[in-house]
Structure 1
Amino acid sequence: MVAARPGRADAARVEIRRAEIADAEAGAWCHLLCWQEAYAGLLDPRRLQEKTDPTGFGRRTERWAGAIEAGVVRWLAFNPGLDVPIQDRVIGFSSPGPGRDDDAPTPLELYSVYVRKAWWGSGLGQRLLDVAIGKEAASLWLLEGNERALAFYRRNGFVADGARVDEEFFGVPELRMVRPAQ
């Protein structure tokens, strides 16, 4: 028997809270697994494998812990299941902060919203977006060709502003989107 995909009622039960240093390993696992799930078919498979190889995972966890310690805001969504392995403890996250671009169109930037594939369509991404930026004006960058993310952000009032950069880490261009205060 195949387990049912989590729905809106399940997403409503998910605890979302600000990340603490003790959450760094679970958050880093979520980040890595979300990249694998969200970018499969969007990136060159070898490049995706190279960038998401868990070898040296300790460094990824250290970066997460360092960012949290430095005050980077990360909102984490915790799996409501009991006794889940650390890789599945965090099922999504979002992160807002000050705009990083010299020509930032808004003071606030949404750095990320990621949700594990099993939770796509459950409303969890919406909850993470809402806790991260509320109704404030914001900008964000997303990988070109990521149609799922593009549709999500459009539903939330974001529009492409014409800015485009070559993203070096994954080797795929990024597009900037902006939304006014809601």
Structure 2
Amino acid sequence: MDYVLRQATPDDAENVVLMHTAAHEESYGHLLSPGFFAERRRSVPERVARRRPYLDAPQPRIIAEDANGEIVGLADAGPPRHEDAPCPLELYSIFVLARAQGTGLGTALLAAALGDAPAYLWVLEDNTKAQAFYHRQGFTFDGGRGHLPPEWESVPELRMVRGLPGQYT
């Protein structure tokens, strides 16, 4: 199946949030509680309102649409959110719905959001599928560790980087 990649706009906010919510359930269903997902579904209207201005930005806010115009993937990147960032570009998130996985869409989204620039990201410690994907894209663990905020049940996460001088993949 073919997908169209484009920069998201504020008008995409509701569909982006709905897709993101579905992707969280598919990707993290084994890592977070049912109550977490119930709260995510309940908070869709508030999250849409917060997402609109976020999508009105020059940084990559890439969405992938299928032949029916439905959003099936997203990737976003920009300046580091952490003072100890190993490089000046962070991949904030990348998600592809299960029905579009294995098509090369994740690789295309990653390329659209980052190009070939050095970058870093955070991945959940127990999300081995995502870790394998990132490793295939040239990312390696650099020893950075953290936890998601309490509203995300403080799940542990690991930092991965690519393209730094002296880095071996």
When normalised by structure 2's length, the TM-score is: 0.90
Residue 103 (structure 2) aligns with: 122
**Which whole-Å CA distance do the structure 1 matches of 2:102 and 2:38 have between them?**
25
Residue 150 (structure 1) aligns with: 131
Residue 7 (structure 1) aligns with: none
Residue 30 (structure 1) aligns with: 19
- 1:179 counterpart = 2:167: no
- 1:160 counterpart = 2:146: no
Is this contact kept in 2: 1:39–1:48, CA < 8 A?
no
Give the fraction of aligned pairs with identical amino acids, expressed as a percent.
39
* Correspondent of 2:10 among 18, 21, 24: 21
Deviations 1:21-66 (A, max 9, x none): 111111111111110111011223333333x22x242211111102
- How far residue 100 of structure 1 moved from its aligned partner, in angstroms, is 1.5
Residue 86 (structure 2) aligns with: 105
Number of residues paired by the alignment?
163
**Which whole-Å CA distance do the structure 2 matches of 1:103 and 1:56 have between them?**
31
Code of the residue aligned with 1:45 in structure 2: it is P
Q: Counterpart of 2:25 in 1: which secondary structure? A: helix
Unmatched runs of 5 consecutive residues or more in structure 1: 1-9, 83-88
Code of the residue aligned with 1:92 in structure 2: it is G
Alignment of 1:51-90 (within 5 A): 52-53=40-41, 55-81=42-68, 89-90=70-71
- Tell me the C-alpha RMSD between the 2 structures: 1.7
Q: Counterpart of 1:129 in 2: which secondary structure? A: helix
- How far residue 73 of structure 1 moved from its aligned partner, in angstroms, is 3.0
**Which whole-Å CA distance do the structure 2 matches of 1:70 and 1:157 have between them?**
27
